[in-house]
Amino acid sequence: MKYLNLKRILILLLVVVFMTSENNIIAQQSNSIKLKVEKILDQLSLDEKISMLHGNSKFTISGVKRLGIPEWKMSDGPHGVREEINRHNWEPVGLDDDFATYLPVGTALSATWNPELAYKFGSVLGREARARNKDIILGPGINIHRTPLCGRNFEYMSEDPYLIRKLVVPYINGVQDQDVAACVKHFAANNQEYERFRVNAEIDERTLREIYLPGFKAAFTEAKALTAMTAYNKFRGKWCSENDYLLNEILRQEWKWDGVVISDWNGTHSTIDAANAGLDIEMGTEKDYDDYYFADALKEAVENGDLAIETINAKVRRILTVMHQTKVFDSSRSKGEFISERNFEVAKEVAEEAVVLLKNENTILPLDLSKIKSLAVIGENATRKHAIGGGSSGIKAKYEITPLEGLQNKLGDKVKINFAEGYKSSTKFDWSKGRVDTSDENFSYRKNLRNEAVGVAAESDYVILFMGLNHDYDMESVDRTEMILPYQQDELVKEILKANKNVIVVLIGGLALDLREWVNEVPAILQGWYAGSEAGNVFADILLGDVNPSGKLPFTFPKKLEDSPAYKFGDIPGNGLEVEYKEGIFVGYRYFDSYNVVPQFAFGHGLSYTTFNYSKVELSKNILNKSKTVDVFVTIENTGKVAGSEVIQLYIEDVVSSVERPKKELKGFEKIYLKSGETKEVKFQIDESILSFYDVESKNFKAEPGQFKIHIGSASDDIRLTTEFELSKEN
């Protein structure tokens, strides 16, 4: 006993010594960076300083050669390093070594609910950014999915701030561990693309704090993202790039964040206001570089005495600090790794865990090869590649396996594949005009394609339909106006069902769709997202059962647009210029749950080829003292025949509250892998912070003593176990 205690004390001492020396090293490093930065700052002329505060090409700011400061190079985007474009226009340079690993898009990453994969994802981005000699990656994009129509939802992560937080932190760590700065965007309230250059977002304080800011807060305070990109829109009447409340009060003072704030491209509107509000770098303005707000005009403002030189110094100091933190001046800086095998392996792993099995009636999936002689593969998305689309996040993939290729790779000549296009997109995206429908009045080609597909379906054992959207819809700068499928795909599915009932739909896209026309008739549906370089191979592995799906929806799939909260309460998109987030905190499942609206597929939903039994939930104690914690133990067993992963979700319900609260909120999750027959225990920890709401009066998060429920489930609408505890007044 005595010996045991001594051993414990010794271990504790060692930990303390280690942590202190670790802290000392960090403190020493930051002191030495400070000294180096001040030394450079002292030598810079005003002109040189100003040259570092605005773009000198589409994606760089100036260096200062005589002092050995290189140009600072930025690159889009959130799921792969963008191809090189010309310095002074948006045309691709046309190189043959600017390919990238096409990682599954942000929404797909979130559908994995796997923080470890988020770290690996970030590492790939960081490695490839370094190999392409970039200093800053313009991602992740983490704006909340407020409506199912936003053209950039596919780049973003989720409707839920907790899920975003848990994934964005490792993502950023992954990027920054490769000596590349992450640029978290778009700060803040950029939740629609419609009128993004003009719209003003009005959000009440509680909603801002509970829904729209926590992801950013985690990115800046937990992951310590080194740079931020402001949003195009206005927030409470002020452009985000000159928003004193967002940039100075919240980001810098409250969150004590000292990274570099970069404007979105062409998103700066003033010199003095923006400079004082905390913007550091102006990018992308469509003027001569000297005419940027942060170029000659900024110098003039200093010379006239309208702007303090210290404001300029602070900006340059921050830039130089981030340069040092990412080892810009250091020969030990990561050299990166260009489109390597292990990078593609990560793209594959993420895709495997991202695909969501939405429906699987009569366990039609996985397909049993012994019973199949022929397979109809139908849909434009069976052969369409998506990497390059979507706007600034588009990338030139080294390769992208299409769904048809994936099935061909997998099946060889074991099964006869009958391919038919079935529908053809009739849209084109144009930056000046937006999405344009190019279909003429003559729709006969559609009928012909449909008839051909129905013929192919009739003569095949099973039909796999790769349909949904493409990047004419999931596209920066333009929102959808409705949730229904384009190109008359509903008609196509219905006609095919008349010829063959064994239909499996794989939805490609980043948004929820209105599936009511056929959802009850189709036995199996998968959400396949834009799943990256290995998409086709992964879909084939999942359809054939070599990979057991484990993705969970990171957003609610409403039945119809009218069911979504922003539509119900407010105006999407309204007049486009003034948008009041009238639904408040009731975003996504918070609304569907609390208002008893049944979605098509709920937040957190995703099936598996195996079954899981949640047998027990136990608490370490039933009363939580304010400054303490309670442990929650959940026992779960794989009761099916195959191995699989499950995401155990923990939701909190505040039983009695002085303010309106959502029925339940996600406050914990854990993805675990279980072999057939295996049982595991998972532990969560509850503390006061996850019980709290934002109290507008005290301007703080606060938890009210009383009863709370813990719901443990496989989805927000599939709660398997519930227990209760009390938050006590005592400390």
Given the rule CB under 6 A, which residues bind ligand BGC? 76-77, 138, 185, 264-265, 392
Q: Which amino acid is at 340?
A: S
User: Can you tell me whether residue 446 is helix, strand or coil?
Assistant: helix
644-654/434-437 β-pairing? unpaired
Residue with tokens 């920890």: 685
Residue closer to ligand BGC by CB (options 185, 299) is: 185
Residue closer to ligand BGC by CB (options 392, 649) is: 392
Q: Which residue is nearest to ligand BGC (CB)?
A: 392
Minimum CB separation of residue 385 from ligand BGC in Å reads 21
Q: Which amino acid is at 695?
A: D
Among candidates 545, 502, 548, which has minimal Cα distance to 523? 502
**Is 264 a residue of the active site?**
yes
Residue closer to ligand BGC by CB (options 392, 556) is: 392
Residue closer to ligand BGC by CB (options 113, 265) is: 265
Cβ atoms of residues 191 and 237 within 8 Å:
no
How far is the first Cα of the chain from the last one, in angstroms, to the nearest whole number? 31
Peptide bond preceding 78 in cis form (omega within 30 of 0): no
Options 135, 179, 264, 280, the catalytic residue:
264
Burial category of 660 from C-beta neighbours within 10 Å (exposed 0-12, middle 13-18, buried 19 and up): exposed
Minimum CB separation of residue 94 from ligand BGC in Å reads 18
Distance of CA 15 to the CA centre of its chain: 36
Residue closer to ligand BGC by CB (options 132, 324) is: 132
Residue closer to ligand BGC by CB (options 265, 651) is: 265
Q: What is the DSSP string of 12-33?
A: HHHHHHHHHHHHHHHHHHHHHH
Burial category of 668 from C-beta neighbours within 10 Å (exposed 0-12, middle 13-18, buried 19 and up): buried
Token output for 432: 């000046």
- Round the CA-based radius of gyration of the chain to a whole number and report it: 26
Minimum CB separation of residue 465 from ligand BGC in Å reads 32
Minimum CB separation of residue 235 from ligand BGC in Å reads 16
Minimum CB separation of residue 184 from ligand BGC in Å reads 11
Among candidates 613, 610, 609, 605, which has minimal Cα distance to 680? 613
Distance of CA 670 to the CA centre of its chain: 18
* Angle at alpha carbon of residue 30, lines to 24 and 35, rounded to 5°: 125
Minimum CB separation of residue 139 from ligand BGC in Å reads 8
How far is CA 615 from each of CA 367, 608, 637, 641, 718, rounded to the nearest angstrom?
A: 30, 18, 8, 18, 14
Pick left, alpha or beta for residue 646 (phi over 0 → left; psi -120 to 50 → alpha; otherwise beta).
beta
Minimum CB separation of residue 334 from ligand BGC in Å reads 22
Minimum CB separation of residue 386 from ligand BGC in Å reads 18
Token output for 230: 């402001």
Write out the H or E segment, with its range, that includes residue 343.
helix 341-354
Q: What is the DSSP letter of 601?
A: B
Residue with tokens 């000292």: 258
Residue closer to ligand BGC by CB (options 268, 408) is: 268
Residue closer to ligand BGC by CB (options 84, 296) is: 84
In sequence order, the 6+-apart residues with CB closer than 8 A to the CB of 639 are 610, 611, 612, 613, 677
Minimum CB separation of residue 186 from ligand BGC in Å reads 6
Residue closer to ligand BGC by CB (options 95, 308) is: 95
Burial category of 689 from C-beta neighbours within 10 Å (exposed 0-12, middle 13-18, buried 19 and up): exposed
Q: Which residues are marked as active site? A: 264
